[in-house]
Structure 1
């Protein structure tokens, strides 16, 4: 056997070994990818792989030539080289096509199984949330000095003490005044609120909630108007907001008559139930305001009790002159009657 034949055999064996290594490397990468895919999604069904093509073509040719011995020529060398080239190219292409077919088959099986495909989109930009710092922290961050913990604790204690002092002052002044005002208003408007709703403490609690004044619409608005009127009157208002200045006389008399009858009914029911009410005021609902008597101004001791002084002249009106004459006649009649009795 010649030296060229031995070199050719060695090169063929080296090429076969390298092909086997590359095939094992591809199968190992495919196994790693499959394990990663199964850990990520779900186990893949076992795929039926096609049998690998026989690689004994070149080896059988070599064995035949080895058996023939010296029957090796240039034509056989050319055919062997062609076979080796075609065999190497065919094995690699077949494995690639087989791997691609397996991948497509696995993907088809995975999509047919009905599993959800996870899509990750990184195109949308979300604003990052930045933590805000106070002025003190920002100043300490921008300064070159290292921050001191005792200073921060002292500042926090000082702010807490200021807040406590402010809270104490608010409780002493503003909060107490607000509570007093709310309590005063509640006491003043309690009869309106108890009549508007069924209050157990009110003597008309059984009929208050079902009364006609509360069952009709806008009853809360009427209660609010009455309470506002009471607050305005407490502030010193001269005229009431609920009274209408211009209306027909028949309507005004009807309103006053209804108010008087309601007040009389309320007092009668309270008297029957043994409840003591407030004193009846002369300026109650429907009552006319009492006329004030004009009081004569106090005169000095040296001034006369009748007439008016204008400079050095005393002016007496006709009414005052008639009153003086009538008083004189009365006195004369009294004296005559006394004399006759004696």
Structure 2
């Protein structure tokens, strides 16, 4: 038995020496595979067998396909079929009427002010106009004002002059514009002047106005309606404080007329029909 044991030990040493010396040489691929199979069988005898690992197969390189892709590298653009449909999203800021009423009712309930008898208006605000519409409205308003001003000042313009008044006509145009803005009196009216000068100015203005209207009527031009100035009715003038209500006070003397005396005395009573 000792012989057999010795032989077994020598065999193990020989195999171990073979295994140890085998990697030192430059083995071929077949020798490495045999070695790995030996180690694997030894490992599976002690532990569970290992699952077979599938080696990934290398795909053959298609040289013809690479050449075709290089030739077709030019981009022809996106086809119409590949275009995705346009998605439109609308964000509206206007809330529903019910939610608006609820908010208003809650706000009125929480406030310290007493409730009003008139119902609150639930009108929605209008959308702001676009910049182009606002510019168009401003331009139209400017043109309307210019047209109204031209119609008012058309009698100051002659056929030989331009549309911009000059000289005395410019002052008159300024006076008309001030009156349209709310001026109570004209800037050309002088309060204090001799009566003869005032009458002459009034007569001259009246004659000019009559001549203008006569020429317009002959030429078929429609003018504005003439405004007639009504004279003050002959009523009693207002008297100052402390002055007598009857008569005329001049030079420190009160003069009474018969009408004033009759108004003071009143109607006379007749003596007829009395019996003693």
Question: Of Structure 1 and Structure 2, which has the larger fraction of its residues in helix?
Answer: 1
Give the TM-score taking structure 1 as reference length: 0.27
TM-score, normalised by the number of residues in structure 2: 0.33
Larger RCO (CA under 8 A, 6+ residues apart): 1
